[in-house]
Amino acid sequence: MSETLGFLTLLPPVIAIVLAILTRQVFISLIVGIFLGYVILAGGNPWLGFLDTLQGLVDVFADAGNTRTIMFCALVGALIVFMQRSGGVNGFIESIDRRLRAYENRKDGSSRIVVQLLAWFTGVLVFVESSISVLTVGTLYRPIFDKLGLSREKLAYIADSSSAPSSILIPFNGWGAFIMTLLAAEGFANPFGTMLRALAYNFYAFAALALVPIVVLTGIEWGPMKHAERRARAGKVLNDNAQPVVDESLTSVEAKEGIEHRAFNMVVPIVVMVVCMPFMLAYTGWADARTLLGEGAGAGAMLFQSIGSGSGSTAVLTSVTISILVSMAIYKAQGIFGIRESVDLVLKGIAGLIPLALLMLLAFAIGALCKKLETGIYVSELARGWLSPGLVPFLVFVVTCFIAFSTGTSWGTFAIMIPIAVPMAQEMDANVLMAIAAVLGGGVFGDHCSPISDTTILSSLASATDHIDHVKTQLPYAGLAGGIAASLYLILGLM
């Protein structure tokens, strides 16, 4: 296919990338790229290309794994609404706040360090969803940061740097499901195991996550953040011209009036979902593990193999469904919601994440299209003459960073780059796991730095700081972590 189409195989993903950069509309860009690809496959006939585009979108649901993953992402919205409306998020914030008050008035400086580390740890702990993570950290710790003379820019940096990196390194969430499905579409028989092995090479996520406690413990600050911290210690948590967002607009769903705020109502749904995921992976992969290892295999080996062979999409869909049902039961037992109100909240949550479900639909569609066009194979053949296989991870990381920074979305970038990077690395005999990690790390880095990223914007909102101030103060730290990651990809790739 790539031999007959030549450079035309590059046009759909390249056009999607360029349009996404120029318009910052990933949905429209992906649709245009998919349509163009099917027009090319139809020999230039736009009518057949249009019909094939529609069929390509329909064919996404022919894969049960794709359908389950899309359903999971929609249902996560229900869980998020439940936790907020039940008072669980507020209860969690209040319970942590009570434990922090002991550190507010200490004079030896330890309170400043402890509070910053707790903010970072809280962001890591709420790994189930990056938006909830930044909202929780910002809303919870902002009053304490103000009292201790810590800048809101510092809070936004901590919230932002502990959200997406932890979500991608602890992939028992929508991130993991999305990545596993993309890998399965590339032909990996064990997408869960492949993802876990690739995570070891996700140098940016590790660097970004580790840099926060290093900065906090050493007190080393530089660039705009240094000036922000000096200003905050002088009693000004914001710049004179800063335009912080009002705190009341941070959450779209308020806790129900007249109910007790209990952290239990947030913690239980998350714990149920997280615990169910590895259990369901083992359950769905047990038969394959038994076939591979035989009847005499030990329990430990069977468990590890079954988790690796399990269906990630089945695990996440089943887990979030069980979590929702458990939530409905505990909220009903407490008299918070009736069945009808619970159903209404589920529908509201699903509606709120329809855009994400649409993004995943388009992501799967363009991935399938790139396989039909053999884009990755063509790129690898084109680059083989001048690009060393050892440079593949470094190049993939740099390109992915640029795309994610320009578009403000890591997931959309994953959808574009995974179908290109994997075949390219395979054909050039490069380190495939490192190439996958380069895509994942590059997507998080670009999204982390981008001023149009939803997570970056939410970090500013939750911390009630000026958005541009947040971007300027965070960029040197993210840039350092990105530089470390790029250097490691270059060095290890050439070794």
Q: For residue 146, how many other CB atoms are within 10 A of its CB? A: 17
pLDDT tens digits for range 425-458? 888 888 999 999 999 999 999 878 877 676 777 7
Question: Could you give the CA distance from residue 35 to residue 299 in angstroms, rounded to a whole number?
Answer: 49
Residue 188 three-state SS: coil
Q: Do residues 376 and 424 lie in contact, with contact meaning Cβ atoms separated by under 8 Å?
A: yes
pTM of the model: 0.70
pLDDT tens digits for range 324-367? 999 999 999 999 998 999 999 999 888 877 876 787 788 788 87
Task: Calculate mean pLDDT across residues 157-176.
Answer: 84
With a pLDDT cut of 90, the percent of the chain lying above it is: 22
Question: Could you give the CA distance from residue 302 to residue 297 in angstroms, rounded to a whole number?
Answer: 6
Which amino acid would we find at residue 184?
A
pLDDT tens digits for range 96-111? 667 766 655 555 556 7
Task: Calculate mean pLDDT across residues 216-228.
Answer: 87
Confidence of residue 128 (pLDDT cuts 50, 70, 90): low
pLDDT at residue number 37: 92
pLDDT at residue number 462: 73
Residue spans per domain, the chain: 1-243+355-494
Angle between helices 454-463 and 467-494 (to 10 degrees): 140
